Amino acid sequence: MASSTRKKVLLKVIILGDSSVGKTSLMNMYVNRKFNNQYKATIGADFLTKEVMVTHNGDQRLVTMQIWDTAGQERFQSLGVAFYRGADACILVFDLTSKKSFDNLNTWREEFLVQSGPAEQDGFPFVVLGNKCDLKDSRVVNNKAAVEYCKQWKIMSKDGETPMYFETSAKDSKDVTKAFTTVATLALEKQPGDDLSSNYVPDANLDLNDTKPSQGGGGCAC
């Protein structure tokens, strides 16, 4: 194995969307392969990490995804700047059984762009997830509407041909891994040049104290 495959690259990924769309469940299914039927709102934000091999310019790269799960309640949105800063990609999640959560996607997208202030807004790596596809009888948002949303806001593959949209189920894990791997791939493609050493983070130095909220009790999710 070439040494480049062993170099770790840290990618910070933010998950956004209304409360109860399944952000925490998606993250837990991807990282821990677990699903909990009991809903408990995220307080502030929390993160999990997962290592994944991603193909980049024909080479395999070992990527550490730092996945931030943020609260969907409006009262926590003021914490956004600290959590969004330095993000390499953003996952927008809505509930296929909730039209309101789909209608609110663009509010989350615009807020992320304002709060994170990426150097290049056009082409920033977004991926849209329509979650709870296992609840077929309760579905109110169709595939066409979600695809059109992605086309409208240019949430597309690198060649501009494929909408970056996945219908997922945190409960039965449908397309969860595929979606997160796509996020990692898109984020890696946006890193400057082939030399990714600026994103190298030693295992022992994941010091995130400067990204934690100042409010008491707002730094973890249950």
Average the pLDDT over 144-151 and give the result: 97
User: Within 10 Å of residue 142's Cβ, how many Cβ atoms?
Assistant: 12
Helices (H), 123-204: 143-152, 176-189
| Residue 100 pLDDT grade (very low, low, confident, very high; cuts 50, 70, 90) | very high
86 and 115 Cβ atoms separated by less than 8 Å: no
22 and 131 Cβ atoms separated by less than 8 Å: yes
Q: In the prediction, which pLDDT does 34 show?
A: 65
What is the set of domains in the chain, with CATH numbers? 3-33+46-196 (3.40.50.300)
Measured distance between the N- and C-terminal CA atoms of the chain, rounded to whole angstroms: 39
Residues 6+ apart with CB under 8 A from 125: 88, 89, 90, 183, 186, 187, 189, 190
Q: In the prediction, which pLDDT does 215 show?
A: 35
Position with higher pLDDT, 159 vs 174 = 174
Q: Looking at this protein, which amino acid is placed at residue 77?
A: Q
pTM (predicted TM-score): 0.79
Question: Strands 165-167 and 8-16: what pairing?
Answer: unpaired
Least confident of 59-63, 77-81, 106-110: 77-81
Least confident of 42-56, 70-84, 194-208: 194-208
